[in-house]
Amino acid sequence: MYKTNINLEEMSQKEAIEYLNETVQPETGSIPAYLLGDPTIYDLEHKKVFLKTWIFIGHESEIPNKNDFITRDVAGYSVIISRGADNQIRGLYNMCTHRGMKLCRADAGNKSLFTCPYHGFNFKNNGDCVGVPLQKDIYGDSLDKSQLGLHKIRVESYKGLLFGTWNDEAESLEVFLGDFKWYIDIFAGRAEMEVMGPPQRFVIHSNWKIGADNFVGDSYHTMVTHGSIAKLGMVPSATYSKKGYQIHTTNGHGLNLGTPNPDFAFPEELKEEYKSNLTVEQYEVLSNLKNMIGNIFPNLSFLISHTKIKGQLISNTSMRIWRPISVDKMEVITWFLVEKNAPEDWKRRSRESFILTFSPSGIFEQDDTEVFTDITAAASGTMPLVKQLSFNYTMGLHRKPVTEFVGPGVVYDDKFTEANQRNFYRYWLDLMTK
């Protein structure tokens, strides 16, 4: 039995890790509630997860031109993601190296030079310090500007998706994504994709893992939480979300693949483009896709959704991160992606369906947020820890993966299982206890 006077705050880091190892049991489907509400866990996550892994930043199409930049957050730190005059994409810590002032306060723009608002130090968008006001006069010849370049963050991309990490020892992005790339190809690499507009941002009083958990494998909730959608006739039935496959790979990544679909969910005009970007097997999956919901560890969730709006079927593709703000609060940042070469009317309708379903006003989105908030409230504080409350993640434990599926990973036929959530928490636990 565990101690009942447990207090993570008073434990050493080593003891807290031991306690995690004792109490978090992904393989048998037992996940304690305190993971969602304990500040010690949250602090440890910042160090062990968010400072260690690849974190999603944005899409290359957000900075299409030379000197375009966006500012984004990586593990709580603002970074400038800039496309240099040499067309190379770089990540720079948004902090003046002289005294630490934030260099750039805009969300996006086009600039080759950043000037610090404090003392006016100048930095090129490759990070070089190129100007110090009155330098000769006040420093003489003693200041070596080459030592004052902006701090860099590692940035790598896959199929247009940009990720950053503060961990110089982290494996390459492609290795980190591993077999999951096969599915990312379908999601983000099926055609030339572009982000339309700026991302949408809103705050939910929720622990970030609830969002990741929901997207990585929880199609079960759609019957009830999103029951209104079936009532409105936007999807055929409440159990619509059951059919398909649940798939996960190493490093906690996972997705639910809704299939089959009698209709082609994407613009017919682009079939050749899809075929040229995908393997025969990937194209077959795309052709039969009715939806795709997944999570790239830790907090990038993605979605292809196909619904009937105003009597017409239309799909929309979106991504969101669950950016932790505190143990019980997160910022949701949502991007809408669309095929660049799709007909204008298709793009317009796809955006319309995204806004109606998965923007902050989205009629799918909003019911989830209600759930996330209440789970977080119930898991917070000391009681769930001392009373050892835990959640049941045993769905599908009795089932065996299928072997005949065309894509890689551990695959279950039928989406109603919690294998992906167990896989998510297994990798999370591995990182936390490393």
Partner 1 sequence: MTMEKMLATYEFEQWLYREAKLLDDIDFDGWFSLMHPSLKYQMPVRVNKEGIERPDYALDMFAFDDDIELLKIRVDRLKTDYAWAEIPPSRTRRLVNNVRLLDYVPDEKAVVNSYLMIYRSRSTDIHHDLISGERHDEFIFENGEWKLSKRFFIVDQTTINTRNLAIFV
- List contacts with partner 1 (CB under 8 A): 104-109, 111, 196-205, 224-228, 231-232, 309-310, 331, 336, 351-352, 355-356, 359-363, 365-367, 369-371, 373
Q: What minimum distance in Å lies between the beta carbon of 202 and partner 1?
A: 4
- 30 vs 373, which CB is nearer to partner 1? 373
- Number of residues written out for the chain: 434
By the 8 A CB rule, do 396 and 371 touch?
no
**Alpha-carbon 219 to chain mean position:** 18
Q: Distance (Å, rounded) from C-alpha 386 to C-alpha 6?
A: 6
- As given in the structure block, the two tokens for residue 369 are 């947020």
Q: What minimum distance in Å lies between the beta carbon of 224 and partner 1?
A: 7
The CA-based dihedral angle spanning residues 33, 35, 38, 40, taken in that order and rounded to the nearest 10 degrees: 150
- As given in the structure block, the two tokens for residue 172 are 């390459």
By the 8 A CB rule, do 14 and 22 touch?
no
What are the two backbone dihedrals, phi and then psi, of residue 186, each rounded to the nearest 5 degrees?
Answer: -70, -40
Q: What minimum distance in Å lies between the beta carbon of 226 and partner 1?
A: 7
- 135 vs 225, which CB is nearer to partner 1? 225
By the 8 A CB rule, do 275 and 320 touch?
no
Q: Give the Cβ contact number of residue 353 at 10 Å.
A: 25
Q: What minimum distance in Å lies between the beta carbon of 372 and partner 1?
A: 8
- As given in the structure block, the two tokens for residue 306 are 């196909």
Q: Distance (Å, rounded) from C-alpha 390 to C-alpha 221?
A: 19
- 182 vs 358, which CB is nearer to partner 1? 358
- 51 vs 238, which CB is nearer to partner 1? 238
Q: What minimum distance in Å lies between the beta carbon of 108 and partner 1?
A: 7
DSSP string across 339-376: ETTS-HHHHHHHHHHHHHHHSTT-TTHHHHHHHHHHHH
Place of tokens 């339309």: 196
Q: What minimum distance in Å lies between the beta carbon of 201 and partner 1?
A: 4
- 206 vs 421, which CB is nearer to partner 1? 206
- 108 vs 170, which CB is nearer to partner 1? 108
Place of tokens 């990540």: 91
- 43 vs 367, which CB is nearer to partner 1? 367
Strands (E), 159-243: 161-165, 193-195, 200-204
- 232 vs 383, which CB is nearer to partner 1? 232
- 11 vs 355, which CB is nearer to partner 1? 355
Q: What minimum distance in Å lies between the beta carbon of 212 and partner 1?
A: 17
Q: What minimum distance in Å lies between the beta carbon of 370 and partner 1?
A: 5
- As given in the structure block, the two tokens for residue 160 are 């247009």
Helix (H, G, I), strand (E, B) or coil at 128: coil
Closest by CA position to 379, among listed 213, 210, 198: 210
Q: Distance (Å, rounded) from C-alpha 38 to C-alpha 43?
A: 9
Helix (H, G, I), strand (E, B) or coil at 215: helix
- 265 vs 356, which CB is nearer to partner 1? 356
Q: What minimum distance in Å lies between the beta carbon of 279 and partner 1?
A: 33
Q: What minimum distance in Å lies between the beta carbon of 110 and partner 1?
A: 10
- 106 vs 383, which CB is nearer to partner 1? 106
Element (H, E) at 230: helix 227-231
Q: What minimum distance in Å lies between the beta carbon of 314 and partner 1?
A: 12
Helix (H, G, I), strand (E, B) or coil at 295: strand
Place of tokens 């910022």: 331
Q: What minimum distance in Å lies between the beta carbon of 334 and partner 1?
A: 10
- 99 vs 231, which CB is nearer to partner 1? 231
Please name the residue ranges forming H helices in 71-168. Answer: 135-139
- As given in the structure block, the two tokens for residue 324 are 């932790």
